[in-house]
Structure 1
Amino acid sequence: MCISHRNRRDFLKTAAAAGVAVAGAQALVAPGTAGAREHTAAIGDKVALTDVRVFDGSELTAPRTVVIENGRIGVSAFGARRIDGEGAVLLPGLIDAHIHLRDVTTLRQLAGSGVTTGLDMACFPPSAVDPLRELPGLTDIRSAGTPAVAPGSPQSQLPAFPADAVLTGPDQASRFVRARIAEGSDYIKVIIDEPGLAPETVQAVTTAAHSFGKLVMAHATTTAGVERALDAGVDMIHHVPLDSPLPAGVAARYTATGTVAVPTLTMMEGFAGLGIPGMDYAAAEGSVAALRGAGARILAGTDANSTPGIPVQPPFGTSLHHELELLVRAGLTPREALRAATGLPAQSFGLRDRGVIRPGYRADLLLVDGDPLADITATRALRRVWVGGVEYSPAA
């Protein structure tokens, strides 16, 4: 069972206790997209994309040729089938730094929107994740598996939630981390919420994970939660507060410690739109502005999910394009937003074979009309998508 950061039952219970009317709240789901509908080129097909302007992480190059060979960016166009790019822009495949896996349809939807890598932030049991790994021509994934949660938290009350992930104290941290690693988790996640893990438990999980060379992701949706995550030394903080913008001093701590921010503005916008007192999207937007002003590293992540009962369900794939637009509205330049979905997440998660268009790297590519450095919405104008060298028909 894959989970997001709340389930509807506990969300409604909390809201009702606060006297909030949420009976009319609807899940924010975009009109359905079929995702990638078909492969149009096989692995091993050698292709030369001619007359394409390449985003090199800073600017667009002059028109050039990019070769795809055996799933990688090649060097020589000799013997390649040629595709005329007609001056369109070639981007590295997009990376969504916060999703919740569901099934293989998830991967098709991501691929069809040019999202060639998906970083899952909670999905269990391992039997739900393992079949989705390394599928040729489909979006490549990594996963946190099961997150660490506190007793009484919404996640701990899910019928299938693993008991060993409900931590009552720091003495359980090492065992929790070892179990996740044994199950194949690529990084470790902790939920810092109310009710949330005690600070000493978060610290113990972080220390244990780092001893095994694993990054630690923290879910934090309040300023107080963010400060607890920073105190523990986690590597990335997912979400931004909806209660108040991050103070400049707190934002500066991200930069000082090298902590990475994944604001998930799409999800923050969705929850703020439910009309619950104390949830203000302006706070989330202000937090991103503060983080950018402090020079913090910001990644694009959507919290895309299709989990039953979740009141906000960003669609897989298409929501990342919306996330880029929201990041730009919050103060990032289009260049910074593109980097937040390409090179920066690749670097931050240690994915050394993607994020840029360079010989030897994965042929994760999308060809778009228009200039996304001038207008970020141009990322939606997909012509072609390649995932590990396999071409897909973009989603409608």
Structure 2
Amino acid sequence: MCINHTDRRGFFKAAAAAGIAVAGVSAMAAPAAAHERTLPLGEKVALTNVRIFDGDQVTFPRTVVIDNGRIGISSLGARRIDCGGAMLLPGLIDAHIHLRDVNTLHALAGSGVTTGLDMASFPPSLVDSLRGLPGLTDIRSAGAPAVAPGSPQSQIPTFPADAVLTGPEQATQFVRSRIAEGSDYIKIIIDEPGLSPETIKAVTTAAHSAGKLVMAHATSTATVVRALDADVDMIHHVPMDSPLSASVAARYVSTGTVAVPTLTMMEGFGNLGIPGMDYAAAEGSVAALRRAGARILAGTDANLTPGIPVQPPYGTSLHHELELLVHAGLSHREALRATTSLPAQAFGLPDRGAIRIGNRADLVLIDGDPLADITATRSVRRVWVGGVEYTPTPA
């Protein structure tokens, strides 16, 4: 059954109000995307003497079973690994990356990032070549974003011509083309000057009619308001010209819009000394969103895009992002949720984000307690992606 845009938002709001962890829905009940490959049949493993972050607190030591790529029930016949009281987290999710090549996936997996949500990559063959690789980070992608004529993206020689929109009449075909190419969600670049409000709204409407979430790039107060007016699902980045006001932050909550601040990228641009790009404004915006009760996800904007002056490294930058979110006012618990259960819910990935029977065995074993010290997430000991333990490539 397809949940339409309005029902989807209502579903997550109702689930949150009732205290239901949407990410805990059994993977058996969720239809797989057409391009998603079956998890490989891996070794049955029992991780013993391991503490678990359950989305709220850390449990006493217990056993977690990895069985054919999923979290299993019985440890009978499993190879046992004594974790010595270390902590097990759900696989981390980076809600904003830009794919480059298979080395991207190795860097992500090695840092415990088991799901990467790409926010602009092309051609489609690149994205397809990186999907479903056993033991490497699982990905989703927006494909090519909608941009305005004359934008920096439109000047890239390989950028698809049908993603450069001159008016709202092109919106439906743009969305159809992205879906045909396999895009998992739709992205719009909202800049000043840029796409008209009518075009932004038309793309959003066409995407929602097709059952796709809409991501908006917005880095100023004016473009954030434009994104909210268009009823997008998620706004990536936060303003660097001035902090979001309480009233604008409240609109995220009233509309169900999700925030992906990418503070790592904002910090990088703030360090360049460009007039009008103040990292304090970005941090203040996150604080305002947190006070308002908005859903905030961890995303880094990790990239190796030529010509971009700030290139956060894949994987390790997510740990920095969590530290920046805590510094901006999120609790350690909220920061951990921002990279586990919340992005799984927001992106409709019910088989991950929590360590529950039937979920994908996306797991990160770490030393320390990130509820006491968020930097503990950096102490990655072992990683499993879809039940396959990540093995670094030989140097």
TM-score (norm 2): 0.89
Q: Secondary structure at the match of 1:234?
A: coil
Match of 1:217 in 2: 215
Match of 1:45 in 2: 43
Q: Which amino acid aligns with 1:105?
A: N
Shift of 1:195: 2.4
Task: Say if 1:349 and 1:313 are closer, same or farther in 2 by CA, change over 3 A.
Answer: same
RMSD: 1.2
1:269 matched to 2:267? The reply is yes
Match of 1:314 in 2: 312
CA distance in 2, matches of 1:160, 1:90: 42
Q: Secondary structure at the match of 1:301?
A: coil
Shift of 1:393: 4.6
1:168 matched to 2:166? The reply is yes
Aligned counterpart in structure 1 of residue 302 of structure 2, from 301, 304, 309 = 304
Match of 1:9 in 2: none
Match of 1:207 in 2: 205
Q: How does 1:11-22 map to 2 (within 5 A)?
A: none
CA contact (8 A) 2:94 2:300 kept: yes
CA distance in 2, matches of 1:107, 1:234: 28
Q: Which amino acid aligns with 2:199?
A: T
Q: How does 1:33-112 map to 2 (within 5 A)?
A: 43-112=41-110
CA contact (8 A) 2:136 2:390 kept: no
Aligned counterpart in structure 2 of residue 342 of structure 1, from 334, 337, 340 = 340
CA distance in 1, matches of 2:345, 2:217: 20
Aligned counterpart in structure 2 of residue 325 of structure 1, from 323, 326, 351 = 323
CA contact (8 A) 1:170 1:204 kept: yes
CA contact (8 A) 2:188 2:200 kept: yes
CA distance in 2, matches of 1:111, 1:91: 14
CA contact (8 A) 2:106 2:392 kept: no
Q: Secondary structure at the match of 1:142?
A: strand
Match of 1:254 in 2: 252
CA distance in 1, matches of 2:379, 2:347: 28
Shift of 1:310: 1.0
Shift of 1:111: 0.4
CA contact (8 A) 2:93 2:343 kept: yes
Q: How does 1:16-31 map to 2 (within 5 A)?
A: none
Aligned counterpart in structure 1 of residue 138 of structure 2, from 112, 137, 140 = 140
Q: Which amino acid aligns with 1:288?
A: V
CA distance in 2, matches of 1:130, 1:394: 22
Task: Say if 1:238 and 1:133 are closer, same or farther in 2 by CA, change over 3 A.
Answer: same
Structure 1 segments unaligned to the other structure (5+ residues)? 1-41
Q: How does 1:341-380 map to 2 (within 5 A)?
A: 341-380=339-378
CA distance in 1, matches of 2:161, 2:283: 36
CA distance in 2, matches of 1:316, 1:386: 17
CA contact (8 A) 1:147 1:190 kept: yes
- After superposition, give the CA deviation of every residue in 1:195-215 in whole Å (9 maximum; x if it has no partner): 211001000000000000000
CA distance in 2, matches of 1:179, 1:57: 38
CA distance in 2, matches of 1:115, 1:195: 35
Shift of 1:43: 4.5
Match of 1:29 in 2: none
Match of 1:11 in 2: none
Q: Secondary structure at the match of 1:83?
A: strand
Shift of 1:392: 2.0
CA distance in 1, matches of 2:203, 2:304: 28
Q: Which amino acid aligns with 1:344?
A: L
Q: Secondary structure at the match of 1:118?
A: strand
CA distance in 1, matches of 2:77, 2:351: 25
CA contact (8 A) 1:265 1:285 kept: yes
Match of 2:231 in 1: 233
Q: Which amino acid aligns with 2:146?
A: A
CA distance in 2, matches of 1:206, 1:309: 29
CA distance in 2, matches of 1:193, 1:338: 31
Q: Secondary structure at the match of 1:53?
A: strand
CA distance in 2, matches of 1:82, 1:394: 22
CA distance in 1, matches of 2:158, 2:172: 22
Q: Secondary structure at the match of 1:182?
A: helix
CA distance in 2, matches of 1:394, 1:58: 31
CA distance in 1, matches of 2:133, 2:380: 22
- After superposition, give the CA deviation of every residue in 1:214-233 in whole Å (9 maximum; x if it has no partner): 00000000000000000000
Residues paired across the two proteins, number: 355
TM-score (norm 1): 0.88
CA contact (8 A) 1:122 1:147 kept: yes
Match of 1:31 in 2: none
CA contact (8 A) 1:223 1:244 kept: yes
CA contact (8 A) 1:153 1:194 kept: no
Structure 2 segments unaligned to the other structure (5+ residues)? 1-39
Q: Secondary structure at the match of 1:48?
A: strand
